[in-house]
Amino acid sequence: MPEIYSFMFNLNESNQFFISNAPTDMRVGVNAMCGKVRQAGRNPTDGKVYVFVGKTHKVMKRGTGYSLWVS
């Protein structure tokens, strides 16, 4: 059985946040979001927080590295 790794991190004022100013299709997954970060010339595993909003601005996805949260 593979080992499961668990860790916690904290989002606070020391994090750098990058917020997309264009609506994003919220149906896409982690790989597509990472692709959008790479298209912007950034590295999705750099520890920074990338925020994407949907067309209506009622849905938001946030992520650091390959973690993804939806609110």
Domain residue spans of the chain: 17-70
- The pLDDT, as a whole number, for residue 61 is 66
DSSP 37-63: HHHTT--TTSS-EEEEE-TTSS-EEEE
Q: How far apart are the first and last CA of the chain?
A: 32
Q: What pLDDT, in 10s, does the model give residues 11-55?
A: 778 888 888 888 888 888 888 888 988 999 999 888 888 888 888
pTM confidence score:
0.68
